Amino acid sequence: MKRSITFIVVLSVMALGLAVAGQVPSAGRTTRAQTAENIKLPPAVAQAVKANCPGVVIDKMDVEREAGFALYDIEFKAGRGEIEVAEDGTVMDIATIVALKDIPKPAAEAILKAAAGAKVQQLEKSEVRAEIVMSGEKGTIVRLAAPKYVYEAELAQGEKRGEVQVAPDGKIVEGPKWGAEEAKGKEEVAEKEEAEEKEEAEEAVEPKPAAAVDLKILPPTVLDAFKKAYPKAVIKGVSKETEKGVTYYEVESVDGKMNRDLLYTADGKAVEVEEAVAPGALPAAVIKALDKAYPGYKILKAEDMLKDGQKLFELAIQVKDKKMAVMIDPNGKIIQ
C-alpha cells in the first residue's frame, strides 16, 4: 500500500499474526513488529481497524514515525488487503486486492502498457482518505473531502520484480520500478525475514539452564519472594551488590516471552522491577517528549521500570550516530 501524497510515508511490512481485538505496535524512526503476546495496538487504532475491516486477521505489521505521527501499516491474512491508520485513529489508506477486469479501463490499459509483457502478479486498489501535509518542519493530518484512488500492480518478469502505480484516468503515479532487491523475489526476502525473526524470538525466550545459575547467592527470603510472585519464570542469572551500605540482589529472569529483571533487598522486598516493553506500547506523552527532545531519534530498547513505587520508562535510543540512555516518566517528563 503506497501513496503519492504531499508527504510520502513508506512503511515496511514485518511478520505478525494476530486478530484485530488485541493488536500491536512500535515507535522510533522505524521499528520491527513485535510478537502478539507482548504488545497491543492503541485503542483508537484497533477501533479503526475493527470498524473499517470487520472480521479480518492481521498477518503483518509495521509502525513508522513521520512528522511526529505514528502510522500503523497493517496487512491482513487471506488476501484481505491492508490498512494504514494514524495513532489517533485516522484512517490514512485502505488497500484491497482487485482483479484487472474490475478497475477502470484507462487504469488497466496503463498498467499493461507499463508492464511491457511482464506478468501482473497482484493488483491493489488503494483508497487514500487522509494525507500528511507539511508546513515547514511541522506536519498536519488532513482528511480528504473525497477519497483518492490509486491502483498498484506488482509485476514479475523472469527473476525480476517491480511495481507501478496508476490513477483511475490512466496517469502513471509512480514507476514502473525494477530493483535488484526485488529481483531476488519477494517470497525469498519474506522467508529470510521470517527466519531472522524466528531466530531472534528463540534467543529472547531461551532460558539459561537453571543448573548454571548459582542460586546460593540469594537469601531464602529473596528466592521465596521471587518464586511466589513469578511461579512460571525461569532464573537466568543472579548477582549481589552493595550500595551505600545496603546489599541488593539482582535476579534476571524470563517468563514466557517476557524478560524481567528485579532488584531485591535482603528481606525479599522488590525495590526495582524492569520488564521489556514494545516501543509502540509507550504512552503518547512519552513519544511526544522524545520527538521534541531528540528529533530523528530511534528506539533501540525500551523497558517498563517500577522503582520505589514510581513507574518509569528506561530507553536506549540513537540519534544519528550517538547512542544514549533516557529515563522518562509516563507523563513525558525526562528524568535523565
Cα 219 to Cα 164: distance, rounded to the nearest angstrom: 65
> Are 61 and 155 within one domain?
yes
- Residue 121 inside a domain? The answer is yes
pLDDT digits (tens, 9 = 90+) for 67-84: 778 888 888 887 788 999
Residue 210 has pLDDT above 60, yes or no: no
- Residue 202 DSSP SS3: helix
CATH number at residue 35: 3.10.450.360
Domain edge (last residue) among 167, 200, 233:
200
- Phi first, then psi: give them for residue 95, nearest 5 degrees: -115, 135
Cα 154 to Cα 122: distance, rounded to the nearest angstrom: 5
* Portion of the chain with pLDDT greater than 90, in percent: 24
For residue 33, the model assigns a pLDDT of 45
- Residue 115 inside a domain? The answer is yes
- Cβ contacts of 298 within 8 Å, gap of 6 or more: 28, 29, 30, 31, 317, 318, 319
Q: How many CB atoms lie within 10 A of CB 232?
A: 8
Q: How confident is the model at residue 66 (pLDDT cuts 50, 70, 90)?
A: confident
In the beta sheet, which residues pair with residue 161? 156
- Residue 8 inside a domain? The answer is no
Cα 150 to Cα 68: distance, rounded to the nearest angstrom: 25
> Are 56 and 163 within one domain?
yes
In the beta sheet, which residues pair with residue 58? 18, 76
> Are 229 and 156 within one domain?
no
Show the 3-state SS of 232-284: CCEEEEEEEEEECCEEEEEEEEEECCEEEEEEEECCCCEEEEEEECCHHHCCH
Q: Higher model confidence: residue 21 or residue 179?
A: 179
Range of weakest confidence among 85-94, 194-203, 265-274, 326-335:
194-203
Q: Which helix (H) or strand (E) holds 148?
A: strand 138-157
What is the distance between the terminal CA atoms of the chain, rounded to a whole angstrom? Answer: 39
Q: How many CB atoms lie within 10 A of CB 11?
A: 22
Domain edge (last residue) among 200, 222, 252:
200
> Are 310 and 164 within one domain?
no
Mean pLDDT, rounded, for 245-273:
90
In the beta sheet, which residues pair with residue 331? none
> Are 58 and 194 within one domain?
yes
- Residue 7 inside a domain? The answer is no
For residue 71, the model assigns a pLDDT of 87
- Structurally, the chain folds into a number of domains equal to 2
> Are 133 and 19 within one domain?
yes
Let me know: does 18 contact 36? Beta carbons within 8 Å: yes
Domain that holds residue 172: 14-200
Cell 494504514 locates to 84
- Residue 231 inside a domain? The answer is yes
**pTM for the whole structure:** 0.45
| Cα separations in angstroms, 233 against 205, 223, 292 | 11, 12, 38
Q: How confident is the model at residue 223 (pLDDT cuts 50, 70, 90)?
A: very high
Residue 35 has pLDDT above 50, yes or no: no
Residue 106 has pLDDT above 90, yes or no: yes
Residue 236 is which amino acid? K
- Residue 112 inside a domain? The answer is yes
> Are 185 and 230 within one domain?
no
DSSP-assigned states of every residue in 318-336: EETTEEEEEEE-TTS-B--
Let me know: does 160 contact 117? Beta carbons within 8 Å: no
- Cβ contacts of 147 within 8 Å, gap of 6 or more: 127, 128, 129
Going edge to edge, which strands form the sheet with 310-319? 234-243, 246-255, 258-265, 270-276, 297-307, 310-319, 322-328
- Tell me the average pLDDT of the chain: 78
- Residue 30 inside a domain? The answer is yes
Mean pLDDT, rounded, for 158-169:
88
